[in-house]
Every structure is written in C-alpha cells, then in structure tokens.
Structure 1
Amino acid sequence: MVRALQILFPLYIYPDSCGVSRDACAWKPLYDTVEANPGIQFNVVVNPGNGPGANAFPDSNYIAAVSTLNAHVNVKTIGYVASTKGARPVSEYQADVSKYAGWAAYSGANIAMHGIFVDEANNTPATLQYYTAFSNYIRSAFPSSDALVVLNPGTTTSQSYFDAMPNDVFVTFENFYSQMWEPFTAYTDSNFANTPHQRQAAIIHDFTGSTTDLVNVTDTTGEITDMKYIFVATQGDYNSFPTNWASFVAAVSGTNNWMAQHPDWYP
C-alpha cells in the first residue's frame, strides 16, 4: 500500500446556520474541500462543547453539519474528549465517550461518530495505565476495527505507549511552526526514531511561512518523518478556518501524488 498523508482537522468551529442550508453553513469550506479532494482522507474532530455537550444528542446545527460530513466516504468524524493530563475522573470521560457512541442511535440523520480524540493527554510512565484503560473503554464503545482513537500529548511519546495501545494514533507534535526544527521534537529527536511513525500526527499552528514553506512541511512530514496525519493552521487556535486552508490541502495533495508516483521510495 502506498504511503499517504491524511488530514486530522480539529474542527472546533461552531456549525452556525448549518441547519438552514449547506451554502449558509459555517462548515461549507470543509464540505467544498472534501468534495474537491476525494483522494484525501479527512479525519474531523467534532467538539460541541469541550466534549459532546449536556444532552444526549447535539443541536440541530450540529446534526445537519455532521450528517453532511458523514455522507462523504473520505471523511471520518471523531468526538473530542478532554483528559486533563490524566487527572480527569474515569466516570467523566466514560460518560463523554458513551454519549458520542450513542449518537449512532439518532434516528433522524447519520450523526454517528467513528472514534475519539483524547486531548490534553499525558505521556509519563505514571499515566500509562490511565490511558490504556481510557483507550480500552473507547474501543469497547466503538468496536469497529476501523475506529480511530487519537491521543494528544502533543510531544514525543515513548515506545511503551505505542505498545500498550497498539492500534491508536498519537499526536507527537502540537506546537508553533517556529518550533518544528528545534531539538527534541518529533521532527528532530533521534531517540524516537524507532517509534511507529505511521501512528503519529503533527498539528502545527501559527504557521507564518510561504506556500513553498508549507509544501516543505507536508513533504517532510509525509516523505521523511513518515507521519500519517497532519494539520497546519495559520492561527493559534482552531475556532476558525485557517487562512491557508486551501493551500494546505493542495500541499497535502501534492505530497501524496509524489509518493504515489514513487511507490518503491515510500512503501
């Protein structure tokens, strides 16, 4: 199978007017890009309220927006759950995971989630058991073999975590663009050279470079560092579409096309 980058989009944008029409929907830029790039896999983190929200199902705007995303074969929607560095009570995170899993029972539209994004994750030996149990609970709630579970410590993570959660993805770089090439990052630290790169993600914010720099980021991530998941944003939060959204997706497409043309180089 030829290597390919996938997009991991922390979509913390409220889907304003999505219950009115597709064209009025605040998520329309994502719809348009998904449809224009059927060869790219978009993994979209849905976050109604720092989690699934207080009710069993989300509001009408979220229902319309998520069901529109779920209609596309190159989209996988996953729910946001915070873990407070391993300090969040088990009963609280289990309630959030179960609520997201329950969205599949909504009869009016397909708003099913397909996994969980665990934010504010820790990566110390002391919290390994906590996150292993967390992951196991998610996979019991989402038993499909293609469920996506992502843990976000945001920095390099030891092999013990990859071994304990053998099917999960880890965000091993979430930081400023300016920090990519600093020592001891997932891009530069040789101590982590043997961890499974295809189970790693980079979320890069405050990008200030040129289009050429952006292409260099996606090329490096996909071709050299061999990570599988990426997101690059111009702003420091994820509450609006990046101004570089179109050029970022184009850069991912270009990287993937190059790797597809050279399968012997990028198995």
Structure 2
Amino acid sequence: MSILLPLYVYPIAGAWDPLYSAAKAHPDVDFTVIVNPCSGPCIGSLPDQYYLSEIPKLRTYENIRTLGYVATNYATKNLSSVLAEIDTYANWPKMANNTKLKVDGIFFDETPSTYESYKYDYLSKASTAVKNGTRFRDRFVVHNPGLVSPELLNSKDIMQNSYLNLSDITVIFEETFDKWLDKSNFDKLQSHRIRRSKLAVILHSLPDLSKRVLDFVVEQVEDAADWLFVTDVKTKDEYYHGFSPIFADMVKSVDGGAE
C-alpha cells in the first residue's frame, strides 16, 4: 500500500520535514506527492524561492514521486490552458537551470466522473501531453474526480464508461470519514473488481482515533484501493495545508503498523 499526498503545505523552512522524516523512516512506503505552488504551476513563470529550494529535496528520496497540480474544472477549463500549465511544469528545469526541479507527472484535479465522449477526448489529449516524450520522468498521471459512483465501479462496463484507462491512478473517493462509513458507500467501494493499484481513496475529517483503530481503517481502505491519504483536519480548504497530528501514525499503519 502507498500514500497519495496532497502536499499543499507552503514550504517555509521545516514545513515539509514531517514528509522527509516519514520517507526516511519508512523506505518501503512509496509516496506520490502533489505540489501546488499557485493553484497550478505559476503559469509562465517559476514558483517562489521557497518552492525552488524545497522541491529539489524531494528528489533525494527514492520513495518519493513528485507530481504537479493542474485543475481541469471538470473538463470545462479551456484545454489550451491545461496544456499550458503542463508545459510550465515541464519547463521548470530549463527555466531554473536545475534538473532537480523536474517533476514526475501531473495530478489532474476536478476531473469529470460521468462519461461523455468529448470529455474523454479532452482528458486523452491532456494525458498524452504528459505521457509522450521525456519531459516528465515517470510520465505519471493521476485523475481526481472526487467520487466515482460505487454503482459505476461495480458495473461490468466500467472501462467503457469511465476515464480509468487514461490514468495511472484515479481517486475514487475523496470525502469525510463519516461518508466513507456510510453503508451505501462502504460496501460497494470494497466490492469492485478493478485493480486496486490504479485506485486511491482520500479521507478527511477523521475523529480522534487510537493507533489500533487507525490501523483498522487503513486495512479497510486497502480493500478498496492501494493508494490512500487520511487526515483528521476538519476545516474546509485546510484539509491538505498542513501535516495533521495523525500523519506519522498513518504512515506507520501503511507500513504494516510498524512502530
């Protein structure tokens, strides 16, 4: 099991240390982290000096993959704007004269969940911009629709009626912990037959849980997806802007409950 981390923490000195510490302490846990300096890449320019200093540090850990954040506004954003943001991430190393600023792929946020052919074409062109060539080290693509309906996940026609074949990972559920526990979601999210290595679950607003219960939560998420992130932050728009008190325990739980 691995961690998909929305790293929307502003990188003042020491701010990303919890990630570095976790990556060092748990070398068998893979982290795919999303950097988001300007609600995107700071189109046409470089991010500020704090990002220029910290992003290269991510490269020093073999178990950290770095993705750039691009929102598609559910495929309503002009495709040329999306492609321009992808280009900006790809050009960071040249613009800064620093190869360590090269990111490994793109995290497409706010992707559609209901299938429509023109949206498939839109996302296909965006994915191709990442997958073709050598501009991104892993050419890795993540889609985040926020929710893929449990009914669709369990449909026999899921691959023909979704965008799953355009991404390496799709976030099938990004919601509160309470909604995850709801029977209509919980059972169906664990009964699908899709390869779990292609799926992620993100949960926020967790209650105060003991480490043993957190271990159990991680085990249950693993029945639905191989990638996860959980946080006990409950304030909207702040879920991913800091490392919550349970971050270190979450990583331990992913690492088989290691202490």
TM-score, structure 2 length as denominator? 0.85
1:107 and 2:97 are equivalent in the alignment: yes
1:229 and 2:223 are equivalent in the alignment: no
The equivalent of 1:218 in structure 2 is 218
Counterpart AA for 2:202: I
User: Any stretches of 5+ residues in structure 2 without a counterpart?
Assistant: none
Counterpart AA for 1:119: D
Deviations 1:188-244 (CA, angstroms, capped at 9, x unpaired): 22797122322000111011133222111211222x33x221100111421111110
1:203 and 2:199 are equivalent in the alignment: no
The equivalent of 1:140 in structure 2 is 132
Q: 1:191 to 1:60 in 2, by over 3 A?
A: closer
Q: 1:48 to 1:213 in 2, by over 3 A?
A: same
Counterpart AA for 2:251: V
**1:234-245 equivalent positions in 2, closer than 5 A:** 234-236=232-234, 237-245=239-247
* SS of residue in 1 equivalent to 2:101: coil
- Taking the aligned partners of 1:60 and 1:138, their CA distance within structure 2 comes to 25
1:159 and 2:149 are equivalent in the alignment: no
1:66 and 2:62 are equivalent in the alignment: no
Q: CA deviation at 1:107?
A: 2.0
Moved more, 194-203 or 110-119: 194-203
Q: 1:57 to 1:141 in 2, by over 3 A?
A: farther
Is the Cα contact below 8 Å between 2:43 and 2:85 reproduced in 1? no
Moved more, 135-144 or 195-204: 135-144
The equivalent of 1:194 in structure 2 is 193
Q: 1:145 to 1:100 in 2, by over 3 A?
A: closer
Deviations 1:155-196 (CA, angstroms, capped at 9, x unpaired): 12542335642x5210001000111132443x4227971223
- Taking the aligned partners of 1:143 and 1:52, their CA distance within structure 2 comes to 15
- Taking the aligned partners of 1:97 and 1:205, their CA distance within structure 2 comes to 28
* SS of residue in 2 equivalent to 1:230: strand
Q: CA deviation at 1:146?
A: 3.2
Q: CA deviation at 1:111?
A: 1.1
Deviations 1:75-119 (CA, angstroms, capped at 9, x unpaired): 100000011011000011001111111123232461110001111
Moved more, 113-122 or 143-152: 143-152
User: Any stretches of 5+ residues in structure 1 without a counterpart?
Assistant: 18-24, 258-267
Counterpart AA for 2:231: A
Q: 1:182 to 1:159 in 2, by over 3 A?
A: farther
TM-score, structure 1 length as denominator? 0.83
* SS of residue in 2 equivalent to 1:84: coil
The equivalent of 2:34 in structure 1 is 45
Q: What is the CA RMSD across the aligned residues, in angstroms?
A: 2.2
Percent identical residues = 28
